[in-house]
Amino acid sequence: MANKITENMYTQCDIHSNQHLLFKAIVDHSYNEEVTLQGKEESLHQQKTTKGWMLAVKWKDSSTSWEKLLDLKESFTIEVADYATASNLCEKPAFSWWVKNVDNSTKT
């Protein structure tokens, strides 16, 4: 997890350590249960998936677009975890298996 945080910070800075965020904020989320249920087998274990989740991102140029949780989770791990925490999404299956690890690693 430490490598993910370092990579996240590194990709947002230029060679002079000036920070350049690609987006201003995550402004909304949506969940399509039909996508998640397709092909899902009965299981006793909670499936680790982000399928069906989309996040609305307000970009630096003031435009807004819907992006897959999977893509943003990999590129902007800390920001997505912060949004999930602020939006009370941490107990949802798509977030519960990884957000707590991000929160714990940023506090140390």
Cα dihedral sign for 88, 92, 96, 97?
A: negative
Mean pLDDT of 84-98: 92
Residue 59 lies in a domain: yes
Give me the chain's average pLDDT, please.
78
90 pLDDT band, cuts 50/70/90, is: very high
Q: Is residue 40 part of a domain?
A: no
Q: Which tokens hold the place of 107?
A: 């506090």
Question: Alpha-carbon distance 17 to 4, whole Å?
Answer: 18
**Residues 69-87 pLDDT 10s:** 998 988 888 999 999 999 9
Domain assignment of residue 84, yes or no: yes
Total domains present in the chain: 1
Domain assignment present for residue 44? The answer is: no
Say whether pLDDT at 68 is over 90.
Answer: yes
In a domain, 39, yes or no: no
**CATH code (residue 13):** 2.40.50.40
- 22-28 average pLDDT score: 87
The answer as to whether 41 is a domain residue is no
Q: Residue 44: which pLDDT band, with cuts at 50, 70 and 90?
A: very low
pLDDT of residue 2: 66
pLDDT at 7 over 60: yes
Answer yes or no: is 93 within a domain: yes
In a domain, 92, yes or no: yes
pLDDT at 55 over 90: yes
Containing domain of residue 90, as a range?
2-33+49-107
